[in-house]
């Protein structure tokens, strides 16, 4: 039995479903089968049509040959791994997360470059992004280390958290409180599954042995796990960070394959895809609610970042702007 509202079910986007169809949320996808959480319990459903991923909301029915998926509902957010070898849906690691936490561990040394690239994916998902400095119990000065790391992610707080002592878990618990979904991404061994177990309060996910080698990919599937009394947390296998800079836009385009397709369908040759464009495929998708505003904004922001990385004059302007904003923040801080 699952309380779907606790998992964030907000009703059908467009009114009624055909008779006999009922909603559910995908918790796990294996090769040919998925696990669906419904109000009446868990169902194992054989996959036939549309591909799905953990976190998807779907409509299902019980047919003569057993339960079947009827429709995948539009995704509000989608965390996408930029892997050019796969189709768009195959790249989705977590659907409909409200918050994506990028997990970077104290041990081995946190890597600012990887953090930045994973954050780009988190922003691109359309969800709220957050940074977690995991295994804080292993650092002598976790707060200092977090502050040091914060310097590489302007405007974002880095939260030290320990699955062993429970320190800082409250910050994450809020993100998967009733009705909310938190997704965890990060390198293999960063401590994602350990955080899931800490949030759920019992060992639902396997974690590596303490003496196990690094980069072993203990978790091999994506899983959505309901949190007692609350929302849900999505665990993902260790994610290799994608290069954003080195391929001048290819990484961004891969992360936003759906928008790139829409842009290519746009009737205008040189379109900025903003609100006013009549006949623009991107604007139309935004208006129909098929493309999340935040995801679109993230795409534009990242396209801009890529332009900055390849144009030294634009880069200088961007750096000057970051310093200007810091000055403004500092002045404000002095006032209150
Ligand atoms: N000291 C300490 N060790 C931790 C903590 N969290 C995780 N670990 C250890 O770190 C190792 C990796 O943890 P996992 O939770 O399996 O890491 P993961 O990110 O899920 O890894 P993959 O599934 O491979 O992506 C295990 O040996 C854990 O016991 C923590 O807060 N403190
Ligand atoms: Mg894991
Ligand atoms: Zn357009």
Pocket mutation for ligand 1, best pick of 101, 146, 205, 208 (most atoms within 8 Å of C-beta)? 208
Residue pLDDT tens, the chain, 336 long? 789 999 999 888 777 888 999 999 999 988 789 999 999 999 999 998 878 899 999 999 998 989 999 999 988 888 887 555 555 555 688 999 999 999 999 988 888 777 877 887 787 788 888 999 999 999 999 998 898 888 766 667 899 999 999 999 999 999 999 999 999 999 889 999 999 999 999 888 888 764 444 556 777 778 999 999 889 999 988 866 443 333 345 556 656 667 777 777 777 767 778 767 788 888 888 888 878 787 788 777 767 665 655 555 655 665 666 666 666 766 666 554
DSSP lists the bridge partners of residue 184 as: 101
Between the CA of 252 and the centroid of ligand 3 the distance, in Å, is 18
Between the CA of 75 and the centroid of ligand 3 the distance, in Å, is 21
Ligand nearest to the CA of 213: 1
The dihedral formed by the CA atoms of 266, 98, 194 and 151, expressed in degrees to the nearest 10: 80
Cis peptide before 318 (omega within 30 of 0): no
Q: Where are the beta strands (DSSP E) in the chain?
A: 22-29, 33-38, 41-46, 57-63, 66-72, 78-80, 92-95, 99-105, 128-134, 158-160, 181-186, 223-226, 232-235
Query: Which secondary-structure segment (H or E) carries 299?
Result: helix 293-310
**What does the block give as tokens for 133?**
């400095």
Domains and CATH numbers, the chain: 1-74 (2.40.50.140), 78-235 (3.40.50.300), 250-335 (1.10.40)
* pLDDT attached to residue 253: 62
Between the CA of 178 and the centroid of ligand 1 the distance, in Å, is 26
- Counting every residue written for the chain, the total comes to 336
* pLDDT attached to residue 3: 93
Atom number of ligand 1 nearest to Cα 196: 15
* 21 vs 113: CA distance, rounded Å: 46
**What does the block give as tokens for 63?**
């047919």
* pLDDT attached to residue 212: 46
Atom number of ligand 1 nearest to Cα 220: 23
Q: Residue 209: what are its φ and ψ, rounded to 5°?
A: -60, 150
Ligand nearest to the CA of 199: 1
Contacts of 92 by beta carbon, 8 Å cutoff, 6+ apart: 53, 75, 78, 79, 80, 81
* pLDDT attached to residue 242: 43
CB-based burial, 227-241: b 16+ in 10 Å, e otherwise: beebbbbbbbbbbeb
DSSP lists the bridge partners of residue 22 as: 60
Closest CA to 309 of 251, 258, 260: 251
Alpha-helical (H) ranges within 7-150 are 112-124, 142-150
* pLDDT attached to residue 330: 66
Ligand nearest to the CA of 186: 1
**How far is residue 142 from each of residues 84, 168, 281, measured CA to CA in Å?**
37, 11, 47
Pocket mutation for ligand 1, best pick of 189, 192, 222, 239 (most atoms within 8 Å of C-beta)? 189
Quick check: 248 and 298 in contact, CB under 8 A? no
């Amino acid at each position: 039995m699952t309380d779907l509202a606790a998992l964030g079910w907000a009703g059908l986007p467009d009114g009624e479903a055909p008779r006999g169809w009922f909603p559910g949320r995908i918790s796990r996808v294996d090769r040919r089968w998925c696990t669906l959480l419904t109000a009446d319990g868990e169902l194992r459903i054989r996959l036939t049509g549309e591909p799905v991923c953990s976190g998807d909301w779907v409509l299902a029915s019980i047919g003569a040959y057993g339960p079947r998926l009827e429709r995948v509902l539009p995704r509000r957010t989608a965390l996408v791994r930029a892997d050019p070898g796969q189709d768009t849906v195959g790249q989705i690691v977590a659907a409909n997360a409200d918050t994506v936490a990028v997990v970077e561990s104290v041990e081995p040394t946190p890597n600012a470059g990887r953090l930045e690239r994973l954050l780009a994916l988190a922003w691109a998902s359309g969800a709220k992004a957050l940074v977690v400095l995991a295994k804080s119990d292993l650092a002598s000065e976790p707060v200092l280390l977090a502050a040091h790391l914060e310097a590489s992610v302007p405007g974002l707080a880095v939260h030290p958290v320990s699955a062993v002592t429970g320190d800082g878990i409250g910050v994450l618990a809020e993100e998967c409180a009733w009705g909310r979904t938190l997704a965890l991404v990060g390198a293999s061994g960063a401590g994602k599954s350990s955080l899931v177990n800490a949030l759920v309060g019992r060992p639902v996910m396997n974690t590596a042995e303490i003496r196990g080698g690094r980069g072993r990919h203990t978790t091999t599937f994506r899983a959505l796990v309901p949190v007692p009394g609350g929302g849900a947390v999505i665990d993902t296998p260790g994610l290799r960070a994608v290069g954003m800079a080195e391929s001048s836009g290819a990484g961004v385009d891969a992360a936003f394959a759906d928008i790139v397709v829409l842009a290519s369908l746009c009737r205008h040759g040189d379109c900025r895809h903003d609100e006013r464009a009549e006949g623009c495929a991107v604007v139309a998708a935004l208006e129909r609610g098929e493309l999340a505003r935040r995801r679109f904004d993230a795409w534009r922001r990242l396209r801009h970042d890529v332009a900055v990385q390849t144009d030294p004059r634009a880069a200088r302007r961007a750096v000057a702007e970051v310093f200007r904003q810091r000055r403004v923040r500092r002045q404000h801080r002095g006032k209150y």
